[in-house]
Amino acid sequence: MSWSAAQALPAPELDVERWFNTGAPLSLADLRGRVVLLHAFQMLCPACVQRATPQAQQVHERFGRAGVTVVGLHTVFEHHAAMQPVSLAAYIHENRLRFAIGVDRPDGQGGIPMTMRAYAMEGTPTAILIDRQGRERLRRFGHLDDLDLGAALGRLLAEG
């Protein structure tokens, strides 16, 4: 985990086809001043379902008032027909997810969707932490432990 913020580049903007759990579309530009946990997942990815998505929900519930916004990103890059928005909607409902979730815009060819591509993510789940200036500061493909995630959030929140 590097905290040399000097070199950090702005995180690419989100390219989302459709939003759940939010009245208006979200953009990273509008979230300046907030620490953002970008949680990229697929509703049929077991490691997402079992650990990463419940963790994102926890962060939403417990760190929202402290200054963290959780943004879910449904980055479907396989089994496209199986994970259409109608299925995602039921998944969100059944699992009582409350944070904003965007459907990453399909590339139109059944491949990697647009935001996932812009970030060059490796797969799901991926956690990306974005600081109050909109810069990507931490990325983890796979499981990010609660202690480590908490420590990173604490550091970014402390930057004021």
Please state the closest distance from residue 117 (CB atom) to its own copies, in A. Answer: 21
Of 32 and 80, nearer to its own copies (C-beta) is 80
CB of 143 to its own copies, least distance (A): 13
Nearer to its own copies by C-beta: 13 or 159?
159
Name 104's bridge partners.
Answer: 16
Q: Where are the beta strands (DSSP E) in the chain?
A: 16-20, 35-41, 68-74, 100-104, 126-130, 136-141
138 has which bridge partners?
129
Q: Which is closer to its own copies, CB of 14 or CB of 77?
A: 77
Shortest gap between Cβ of 32 and its own copies (angstroms)? 20
Quote the CA–CA distance of 125 and 60 in Å, as a whole number: 17
Give the residues lining the site for its own copies (CB under 8 A).
44-46, 49-50, 58-59, 62-63, 66, 79, 81-83, 86-87, 89-91, 93-95, 145-159
Q: What does the longest C-alpha to C-alpha distance in the chain come to?
A: 43
Sorted by sequence, the CB contacts under 8 Å of residue 90 that are 6+ apart come out as none
Q: Which is nearer to its own copies, 12 or 135 (CB)?
A: 135
